[in-house]
Each structure stands twice: as C-alpha cells, then as structure tokens.
Chain A
Amino acid sequence: MKSVPAKVEHEGRWVPTKVGIGEDRFRIDAPLKEEIPYKTVVNLEEKKNQIIVTAGADGTATYRIASVEKVLSVLKKFIITQASAYRLNAFFMSPAVRGGVLIHDARWEKGTIAVMKTGIWFVSQEKQVCIPLEDVAGIELTSREIQEKDLNVVKIDHLSENDVVTSFVLCPMTTLQVLYNFLKEATHDTEVSEEIDPLTGQVAMLVYSGMDSSSIENMLKLSHRDLDAIYEKLLDMRLAEVLYVRKEVQLTAKGVRYISESVKSQNE
C-alpha cells in the first residue's frame, strides 16, 4: 500500500497524517488509525482540495481528507469504481454546453458512472466529474445524433461554478432508463409543478441570462414595485433566492446641506 502525505479532519481541526492507498482499501494513519475498504464507502463528496468519504453500513463514519489533486484523484478513482453505489459503464460528455454555448472540443468519453447518495460521478482515464444532486436543474431522456445515428441519451442540466452546464450520458436503453428514473426521483424536489404567468417567466429568463434589476425594469418597462412583486412570486415558488437587497435612499437635511455647499464651492 503506497503512503502519501495528507491532512484529515480530527476533532474539529486539520491534522497532518499519511494516507495509504491500496487496491481494495485505503488507510488513514494516526490519529485516526483506520482502514476503510472501498466497498464500504457509501458516499463521496468533493470540495476544493478535499474529499468527504462516508463509509460503513449505517453510513455514519465520515472522513474529510485534504491533499494535492494528484493524490485525491487516485483515491477518488478507487472509491468510485469500487464503492457501494449504483454503477454503470457508459459514455459521457461533460460539459457539452456551458451557459448556452456549445463546447467546441467536447467529446464522448468511455468510463464509469457511479450514482452516490449526494451526487453522480463520471470517471474516465482523463476525467473525474461530480454533479451534486442538489445542483441538478433538469433531467431529460432524449435522443442525439451520434455518428449519424439517433441514439437515446440522458441529458443532465446542472449548475457548475455559477454556470448552467449540460452533460450527456450514453449507454444501453435499459440502463439509461434506470439512471433516468433514479435521477428523476432524486431530484424530485426541484421539479416545477406550479403555473407560471408569461411575465414572471420572462423575468426568470432575464435573471437566468444575467440581467440585473434595472436592466429588467428597462427591458420589460416595469416599475421597481412591479418587479419586486414578481421577484416575490419567484421566491415563493423557490425558483429564485435573494442575492442582495438593493437600497433606495433620499438625502437627509445634512446630505442636502453637503450637496448645496459642494455646489457653492464649485461656483466660487
């Protein structure tokens, strides 16, 4: 088992240690002194330079490990390919579209997909992509022309670094249907069931496109109050969240005095 330097979270703080990476398990040295078979891992999450591994039958043992990308990449690959998860061999393309713009050099990659508790992992020789389920904005079973044939694919729209990204999964139809059903169920909370009036829909589209409030007011000829009312609808339906509250102010007597005096001094 090859040992590499890492840090683990222990009793609320990060502690330097060594992590041994083997073929069927990994080991965390003191102070944790734990050996974790990959097949007992039930979830894997990723944050900048760290991974969070949940293991054990009841899924209560959680290990936070920080290390350099190369080490984490090897560990992630072993975990994803052996963990206790729904796993399938498939082709994937991620990202295929970012912010509505097609990625010119996007290509299908052969690899493994593992569906874990909080996210879907795509692993190929060159790539490890995680889509957290909470970032999934849409799932669709659709067809796509691949090598001049119309083939069924699952299309996943998800958020990634503030962009809306589209990824595709291609595999035999029966497996695809299982994946689609699972994702549909797992992301049921974000499905939109309410009726949305056209104006509210247009505002949502403009927010999506990155327009700020004053641009939206100008484009749709809306007053500040009208737009606020539409924002309230979007908030009530959990289609949007407050980024920040913009203030409208008027000058106090002190402010008026400052302006009057500054204008006076400019004229002198």
Chain B
Amino acid sequence: MGRILIVDDTMFMRTLLKNILFSGGHDIVGEAADGVEALARYQELKPDLVTMDIVMPKVNGIEALKAIKAADPSAKIIMCTAVGQEQMVKLAVKSGAKGYIVKPFQAPKVLEEVKNVLSA
C-alpha cells in the first residue's frame, strides 16, 4: 500500500480517485489542483506515488512531471488524462512517467496499475 498524492484540476476527479485509491487500501497524503501546487506538495510530502492529470492550469502535468523528476529522479508518477490525448503517452513516458491511465477509468484497473508501479 502506498502514500499517494493526487493532482487534478477538477475536484470531482480528485474525489473519484481518492475513493478508488482509498478503497484499495492506499493513504491519500495530499491533493493538488495544478502543476505548481503539485511540485510544492511533492517536496513537502514525499509521497510513494503521484497520479498526475495532464491538462491543468498554470503548469500542465507534463511540465510538473519534468519538474518533480528533476527534483527527485526516483519519483513514481502515473499520468492521467482524457480520451483522445493518448498521443501524450510518448511525451510523458519520455519524461519519466511510470504509468498512464485514460479517463474514464474503472476502479479495479486503476488499482492494478498503481500496484504495478508501486512494486516496480
């Protein structure tokens, strides 16, 4: 089980992910609504894993991913975005993302992906 930081600009998605991850026995140590907040919360909380939305205001998920990886190369980050933005996968993977989930998602699959990334 892991300590997870959820980054998404919509409260609905954060709450949904929080419920799914909590049901899988994970601790939600924090939330952030944009890339700037994500980096600050990461440095403060040092979570085991981050779920990161891609399209966000101020600093987007890809930039936030790069910033977190620059600060901590061992950071485990799963990117999370909407259908139709799968093209971002390559960019995210190149930038160091460990996993990728596409909205809308189903709880058991998200938990499986989180488990895989945490145990990698």
Contacts and interface: CB of A to CB of B under 8 A. Distances in A.
Contacts, number: 65
Interface in A89-126: 97-102
Interface string B105-117: 1111110110000
B42 interface: no
B58 interface: no
B107 A209 contact: yes
A145 B84 CA distance: 12
Contact of A211 (B84, B90, B102, B107): B107
Which of B16, B100, B105, B108 has the most chain A CB atoms inside 10 A of its CB?
Answer: B105
Nearest to B23: A215
Given A202-B12, A205-B16, A101 B102 contact: yes
B108 to A, nearest CB: 7
A219 B19 contact: yes
Nearest to B78: A101
Contacts of A205: 12, 16, 104
A119 B110 CA distance: 29
Interface residues of A, number: 21
Interface in B58-110: 84, 86-87, 89-90, 99-110
Contacts of B109: 98-101, 163
A219 B105 contact: no
A72 B71 CA distance: 55
A90 B105 CA distance: 28
Nearest to A219: B15
A100 B101 contact: yes
Contact of A100 (B15, B84, B87, B104): B104
A174 B50 CA distance: 43
Interface in A198-219: 202, 205-206, 208-211, 215, 219
Contacts of B110: 99-101
Contacts of A98: 109
Given A101-B110, A205-B16, A211-B19, A145 B105 contact: no
Contacts of B87: 144-145
Interface residues on B, range: 20 to 34
Contact of A99 (B12, B89, B99, B105): B105
A134 to B, nearest CB: 20
Nearest to A163: B106
A208 B107 CA distance: 9
A102 B106 contact: no
A100 B105 contact: yes
B20 interface: yes
Interface string A30-71: 000000000000000000000000000000000000000000
A164 B87 CA distance: 20
Contacts of A210: 20, 106-108
Nearest to A97: B102
17 contacts: A99-B110, A100-B101, A100-B110, A101-B100, A101-B101, A101-B109, A102-B101, A142-B84, A144-B87, A145-B90, A163-B106, A164-B104, A202-B12, A209-B16, A209-B107, A210-B106, A211-B107
Given A99-B109, A102-B100, A219-B19, 17 more contacts: A100-B105, A101-B105, A101-B113, A102-B86, A102-B102, A145-B87, A145-B90, A166-B102, A205-B104, A206-B16, A209-B20, A209-B106, A209-B107, A210-B20, A210-B106, A210-B108, A211-B107
Which 3 residue pairs across A and B have the least CB separation, nearest first? A100-B105, A99-B109, A99-B106
